[in-house]
Amino acid sequence: MIRNLSGLVFFALFGTSAWVAAEASNTAHADPALAAAAVAPPLGDDRHAGARQLFRQLENRISGNPLLLSQHADKLRDYPLTPYLEAEWLEAAFQHVNERELGDFLLRHDGAPFAERLRENWLRRLVSKDDGAGFLLYYRPSKNTELRCHYLRYALTGGTNPTALSSFVDLWLSAKPLPPACASVEKRWIAAGERTPERIWQRLELAIEAGETGTIKTLQALLPAAERPLVNVWQQLYKKPQDVTKSSLFRHQSPQVWRIKTHTLERLAWRDRDEALSIWQQVATDPAYPQEWLDQATRSYALALAGAGHPAATAFLAKVPSRLADERIAGARVVDALRRLNWADTDYWLNQLPASEYQSNRWRYFSARSLAAQQRTDAASLIWQSLAGNLDYYGFLSRGQLGQRNKLSPPPLTVSAELVARIRNLPAMQRAREWLALDRQVDARREWFALSQTLSAAELHAAAVVANDWNWPDRAIAALGKAPVNGAWELRFPLTHADTLTREAQHHQLHPTWAIAITRQESIFISDAKSHAGALGLMQLMPATARMTARKHKIRYDGSHDLLRPQQNIRIGVAHLADLIDRNDGNFVYATAAYNAGQSRVNRWRDQFGELPLDIWIETIPFQETRDYVKNVMAYSLIYAERLGQDPAVFDLLASSARAPLPAPAQAGPATP
């Protein structure tokens, strides 16, 4: 038996700590090693030092010996991380814990990372007992499809949320099969007439794109017998989209033929632009093509061609109907005109933007850019002067255009001391601090993230101050990214590792502020950062790139674990920046783009549009991620130059390029859809 259940009444009345204290008095056996660790004197003035050492000893041992927690309850009573041990104990004693015990724990620690796995297990236990009322009490919004379906089932059965059925469509429109828990809700949803033919085809599209054959077969069986062969055709075209020109595949006259053809054309547009244009002439010129589907395909072609800078983009962008001309199309039209240096078209498409979009700093800057190119310098200067006070990329570009070199004065962050103190003393914040003391960065960030979801903008500002006080720069940056402010550079742009970055940059004759800006953009100074692609550390280096760079520059490299060491990561990362500068003829705009997107892509973009002024070239980068990346690094470089008292050369380079004699405007492409 795990423990004496007579102690449960203490838990119910006073919580876990009270119960384990009472239980300790009934415990005959203790772990001598742990007892010795628990009485170790605190380090310096840190009142948690002894408990911290004990926590290290106990963590991951409670499940094997649940009584360990009760044996050391007094020493852990006020320790911020004790709830983690309590959660471990509750997991171990799960089958013997009643609802009042566990419910009290979950309600006291609602949203805390250690409580959420416990909550999911508890919800599954309530499902096994078919306790709908209990499930609804303890359920919180979840990404788990099974639990979401149980919630809908109980909400509908109990009448607590009669509109819940309508939200089931979000679960049903999934490529993957639904779990059995969704069956009863799905049955009610179907009975309500919500599983329409259109939704079946929408889900088929998702399943075909994901290659979910089980879902495809299930949905295919729901179609009229005459339409089922079209599913096989669609699967074939997904593998070989060029076969869309074969009329023999489309013997059936269902309207869904046009859906399949449109989907295939869209895939082609993004995969091979020239082939897509050739096939367009064979497929989309069919007079029977329904206008609705043709418009959708036109929009996809316009975006795909514009993104690649294809000459045919101009005609396709002009053909997109107004109902589909969203922000992406509107922006692509302006950028296409800028790419062609066609100022009349630039002005026309700028004037077609919605008023709110037209007033953005981005388009106001390029409105002035167009005016200046047409020798209307006074009007352009007025716009740039109105933008030059903004502490952002386009404000900095405007300063460059005007030749302004006066020092910037970003406002500091103002937060009341009372609010800072309150945020610092929140249990979640104290738990995060303890994880930092244990050098458990991931656990600390997990606590921070959960807490940040509950804070207001003002509270996030206070949290940024606390993080800065704790020398936790990445969380200060994250907090102010979630609740943006104008200024606060000491928090948003810390000088973390600035000495090392400066030393390595100077060794390679690079601008130190550029290396710092790259690091800030890549990892916000998280030294153990790991990307989905496998990039590691402060400067987010791929192990293969690091190995090659280290070999070239004779830097010792013992494997990918080296990249999680800040000094080593910076040495190799800055050496890689030096290589990119060399490959890009000293131009760090191109080198910055290459750091993010790869040198081969930048070579291709330079071959296409290398004659464009740099401010326009940046706007024409096909990948939004890389486009935003370059803009951020350029702006951060200037900010760090200001912070370090160095020359802000980055915007001189952009402005000089912008003021240089412009190439002859390219003519609009003659292709028409």
Q: Which of 88, 212, 522, 619 is catalytic?
A: 522
How far is 184 from 182, CA to CA, in rounded Å?
A: 6
Exposed / middle / buried, residue 131 (Cβ in 10 Å: 0-12, 13-18, 19+): middle
3-state class (DSSP) for residue 541: strand
Inter-residue contact 508 to 574 (CB < 8 Å):
yes
Q: Residue 665 has what DSSP assignment?
A: P
C-alpha distances out from residue 277 to 216, 223, 383, Å: 30, 32, 40
Question: What backbone torsions phi and psi does residue 536 show, to the nearest 5 degrees?
Answer: -130, 145
H helix runs in 129-255, sequence order: 132-138, 145-158, 168-172, 183-191, 197-210, 213-220, 228-239
How far is 168 from 150, CA to CA, in rounded Å?
A: 11
Question: What backbone torsions phi and psi does residue 390 show, to the nearest 5 degrees?
Answer: -80, 135
Buried b (16+ CB within 10 A) or exposed e, 578-608: bbbbeebeebbbbbbbbbbbebebbeebbeb
Q: Active-site residue 642, yes or no?
A: no
Q: What's CA 232's distance to the chain center, in Å?
A: 36
Q: Measuring CA to CA, which residue among 382, 383, 388 is closest to residue 400?
A: 388
Q: Taking CA 99 as the corner, what is the angle to CA 96 and CA 102, rounded to the nearest 5 degrees?
A: 80
Q: Residue 530 has what DSSP assignment?
A: B
How far is 157 from 413, CA to CA, in rounded Å?
A: 50
Inter-residue contact 170 to 178 (CB < 8 Å):
no
Rounded to the nearest 10°, the torsion over CA 286, 287, 290, 291 is 110
Name the helix (H) or strand (E) containing 593.
helix 588-597
Inter-residue contact 301 to 283 (CB < 8 Å):
no
Residues involved in catalysis: 522
